């Protein structure tokens, strides 16, 4: 984590900007116990199906996305959150421009 983010009030949506036809990410916290990363997805962008060895929580800051977990599709909008269980296949598709906070806790 960069020092300029510590111990000050930040408006989270200004920490990352959308880029055309791209997925942008910025790691906010990295510790042995987990990470916090913010993402900005342009409409139509996404992450292909994969698994992670630990639970991950997605919090939607802006826009709308489809998150599929073990074949179950979920539509999330600003203010929504979902927990993706460890070792469950999941993918993400931005239905419109979409920003999220991804918190991963290692266990």
Number of Cβ atoms within 10 Å of the Cβ of 11:
6
Cα separation, 48 vs 32, in Å, equals 25
Share of the chain above pLDDT 90, in %: 83
pLDDT in tens, 15-30: 999 999 999 999 999 9
The per-residue pLDDT for range 43-94, each reduced to its tens digit, is 999 999 999 999 999 999 999 999 999 999 999 999 999 999 999 999 999 9
DSSP string, 20-64: TT-EEEEEEEEETTEEEEEEEE-TT-EEEEE--SS-EEEEEEEEE
> Hey, what are 20's tokens?
């055309």
Q: Quote the tokens at residue 105.
A: 């806790």
pLDDT confidence band for 34 (50 / 70 / 90): very high
- Domain spans of the chain? 3-105
User: What pLDDT does 78 receive?
Assistant: 96
The tokens describing 27, both together, are 């790691």
Q: Taking residues 8-16, what's their average pLDDT? A: 88
User: Predicted confidence band at 107 (pLDDT cuts at 50, 70, 90)?
Assistant: confident
Note whether 41 and 81 are within 8 A (CB): no
Find how far residue 23's CA is from the centre of its chain.
10
Q: In CATH, what is the architecture of 3-105?
A: Sandwich (2.60)
- Give 8's DSSP letter: S
């Amino acid at each position: 984590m960069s020092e300029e983010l510590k111990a000050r009030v930040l408006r989270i949506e200004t920490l990352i900007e959308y880029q055309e036809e791209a997925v942008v990410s910025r790691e906010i916290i990295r510790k042995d116990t987990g990470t916090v990363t913010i993402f900005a997805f342009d409409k139509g962008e996404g992450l292909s199906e994969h698994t992670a060895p630990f639970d991950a929580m997605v919090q939607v800051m802006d826009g709308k996305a489809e998150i599929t977990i073990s074949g179950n599709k979920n539509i999330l909008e600003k203010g929504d959150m979902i927990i993706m269980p460890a070792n469950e296949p999941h993918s993400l598709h931005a239905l419109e421009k979409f920003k999220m906070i991804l918190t991963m806790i290692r266990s």
